[in-house]
């Protein structure tokens, strides 16, 4: 789709995303404890809301998929229980959040690596920079998954580094697309 155009143009959305990620990373560098507690509590609240939504949807879903709707109910119950765990046991919430973030970082890094090829058509330099940043973020994500206890302890710093790198990469992409 985007290969049909000769010029992409400056990508303001990517720039905005990059700046937000850099700001979030800097905040975590400055306030690591507050950032971790906030993330754990936020994910706890989100999990509870998602769980209640899934449980409520279960009753309507039975009419459409009577044999498989129980999966939605089970998912909703697990979401509510995890949310309560995150809210009332913050250390467990921080550990859980560190694993969730690690999985998210792996998925995003792999997705970026799969799609980095479009920058090669615009500039080899931007392609190489983005590729290197994507590989670096993937390595950090794998480190988070390999050592969950160490990751929980150093989680704020690793997430801050990841957010700053991801943000810089988004800013690089914004400028690369304007060439």
Give tens-digit pLDDT for 12-47: 888 998 999 899 889 888 888 787 788 788 888 988
- Tell me the pLDDT band of 1, cut-offs 50, 70 and 90: very low
Residue 80 has what pLDDT?
A: 94
Find the distance separating the first CA and the last CA of the chain, reported in whole Å: 18
pLDDT confidence bin for 96, thresholds 50/70/90: confident
- CA–CA separation, 87 and 76 (whole Å): 16
What is the C-alpha to C-alpha distance for residues 166 and 112, in angstroms, rounded to an integer? 10
Asked if the model's pLDDT at residue 114 lies above 50, the reply is yes
| DSSP 8-class letter at 6 | S
């Amino acid at each position: 789709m985007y290969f049909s155009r000769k010029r992409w143009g400056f990508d303001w959305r990517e720039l905005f995303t990059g700046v937000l990620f850099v700001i979030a990373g800097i905040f975590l560098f400055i306030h690591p404890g507050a950032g971790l507690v906030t993330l754990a509590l936020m994910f706890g609240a989100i999990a509870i809301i998602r769980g209640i939504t899934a449980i409520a949807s279960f009753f309507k879903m039975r009419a459409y998929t009577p044999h498989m709707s129980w999966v939605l109910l089970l998912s909703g119950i697990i979401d509510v229980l995890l949310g309560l765990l995150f809210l009332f046991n913050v250390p467990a919430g921080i550990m859980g959040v560190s694993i969730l973030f690690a999985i998210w970082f792996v998925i995003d890094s792999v997705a970026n690596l799969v799609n980095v090829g479009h920058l090669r058509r615009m500039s080899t330099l931007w392609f190489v920079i983005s590729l290197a940043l994507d590989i670096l973020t993937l390595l950090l994500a794998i480190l988070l998954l390999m050592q969950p206890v160490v990751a929980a302890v150093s989680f704020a710093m690793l997430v801050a580094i990841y957010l700053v790198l991801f943000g810089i990469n988004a800013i690089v992409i914004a400028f690369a697309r304007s060439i």
